[in-house]
Amino acid sequence: MYALQYVSAALYLAAGVGAVLGLSLPAPKVLSGARWGLAMGVAAQFCAFATLHRLTPAPSLTDLGYALSLMTWLAAGVTVFLVSRISLPGFVPPVAFVAFLATFGAMLHRPEAAVVDVGTTIPHAHVLLASAGLAALGLAGLADFFFLIEHRALKQRRKVPRKLPMPSLEALDRVNRVTLAVGFPLLSLGVITGGLWLHARMGSYFGGSLHETWMLIAWMIYLGLFALRFAGHQGARQAAASAVAGFTFLLAAVVGAGVVS
Amino acid sequence: MKILVLGMNHRTAPVEIRERFAVDATGPVLKKLVDRPEISEATLISTCNRVELVVTAENADAAQHVLYDFFARELGEGEGPSAGQLEEVTYLREGGQAVEHVFRVASAIDSMVVGEPQILGQVKDAYREATEAGVCGAVLARLFQRAFATAKRVKNETGISQRPVSVARVAVDLAKQIFERLDDKSALLIGAGDMIEAALVALHDHGLGERRVANRTAANAQALADRFGGSAHALDEIDRLLPDSDVVLTCVGGDEPILTRERVERSLVARRGRPFFLIDIGVPRNVDPAVHEIDSAYLYDLDDLQEVAAANEEERRRESERAERIIYEEREQFEGWMVALQAVPTIRDLRDRAEAIRRGEIDRFAGRLGLSAGQVETLEQLTNSIVNKLMHQPISRLRDETDREAGLMRLEEARALFGLDGDDPEREPGE
Phi and psi angles of residue B216, each rounded to the nearest 5 degrees, phi first: -65, -45
Q: Phi, psi (5° rounding) for residue B214? A: -115, 130
pTM over 0.90: no
Residues B378-422: pLDDT tens digits?
Answer: 888 999 999 999 988 888 888 777 676 777 788 888 888 888 776
> Which element (helix H / strand E) includes B130?
helix B118-132
DSSP A15: H
- Distance (Å, whole) CA A190 – CA A216: 11
CA angle A175, A134, A102 (to 5 degrees): 105
Residue A66's pLDDT is 78
Q: What pLDDT was estimated at residue B246?
A: 93
| Among A residues 207-226, those touching chain B with beta carbons less than 8 Å apart | none
User: Which of B177, B274, B311 faces A159 most closely, judged by CB atoms?
Assistant: B311
Tell me if A45 sits within 8 A of A5, measured CB to CB.
yes
Measure in Å the smallest separation between the Cα of B198 and chain A Cα atoms. 22
SS (H, E, C) B85-129: HHHHHCEEEEHHHHHHHHHHHHCCCCCCCCCCCHHHHHHHHHHHH
Q: Strands B50-57, B2-9: parallel, antiparallel or unpaired by DSSP?
A: antiparallel
The pLDDT-based confidence of A61 (bands split at 50, 70, 90) is: low
Give me the domains of chain B, ranges plus CATH numbers: 2-157 (3.30.460.30), 167-309 (3.40.50.720), 335-417 (no CATH)
The C-alpha atoms of residue A158 and residue A198 are separated, in whole angstroms, by: 52
Least confident of A114-123, B16-25, B188-197, B328-337: A114-123
Residue of B nearest to A230 (CA): B272
Q: What pLDDT band is residue B298 in, cutting at 50, 70 and 90?
A: very high
* B176 contact residues in A (CB cutoff 8 A): 168
Edge-to-edge, what's the strand order for the sheet holding B231-234? B231-234, B210-215, B186-190, B247-250, B276-280, B297-301
Distance, CA of B283 to chain centre: 37
CB spacing of A155 vs B315 below 8 angstroms: no
A-B C-beta contacts closer than 8 Å: 60
8 Å CB contact between B281 and B200 = no
A148 touches B: beta carbon within 8 Å: no
Whether residue A162 has pLDDT greater than 60? no
The partner residue sitting opposite A154, judged by closest CB among B163, B177, B180, is B177
Name residues whose C-beta falls within 8 Å of residue B68's C-beta, 6 or more positions apart in sequence. Answer: B6, B83, B86, B87, B90
Q: Encode pLDDT of B256-268 as tens digits.
A: 889 999 999 888 8
Nearest beta carbon to residue A160 from set B162, B295, B311:
B311
Q: Are A206 and A217 in contact (CB under 8 A)?
A: no
* Rounded (5°) CA angle B185-B188-B189: 135
- Smallest Cα distance from A31 to chain B, Å: 12
Q: Could you tell me if B108 and B116 are in contact, meaning their C-beta atoms sit under 8 angstroms apart? A: yes
Residues of B designated catalytic: 48
**A232 near B CB under 8 A:** no
Residues 59-98 of A with CB under 8 A from B: 86-87
Query: Per residue in B132-149, is it b (16+ CB within 10 Å) or e — as a string?
Result: ebebbbebbeebbebbbe
How many CB atoms are located within 10 Å of the residue B404 CB? Answer: 17
How far CA B341 is from CA of B60, B142, B347, B401, B407, in Å, comes to 17, 11, 10, 11, 11
Interchain pair B308, A161: CB under 8 A:
yes
Q: Inspect the interface and report whether the beta carbons of B156 and A29 lie closer than 8 Å.
A: yes
**Tens-digit pLDDT profile for residues B77-89:** 666 666 667 888 8
How high is the pLDDT of residue B347?
87
Q: What is the pLDDT of residues A184-238, one digit of tens each?
A: 999 999 999 989 988 888 888 888 888 888 888 889 999 998 888 888 767 788 8
Subunit contact B179:A25, Cβ cutoff 8 A = no
d(CA B128, CA A216): 70
User: How does B345-363 read in b/e, with b if 16+ C-beta sit within 10 Å?
Assistant: ebbebbeebbeeebeeebe
Please list every residue in chain A whose beta carbon sits closer than 8 Å to the beta carbon of residue B304: 157
Per-residue pLDDT, B319 = 85
**CB-CB contact of B334 with B148 (8 Å):** no
Shortest Cα–Cα distance, B319 to chain A (Å): 11
Cα distance from A150 to chain B (closest Cα, Å)? 8
With CB atoms and an 8 Å threshold, state whether A174 touches B273: no
More reliable by pLDDT, B211 or A116:
B211
- In sequence order, which residues have a C-beta less than 8 Å from that of residue B77 and are 6 or more positions away? B20
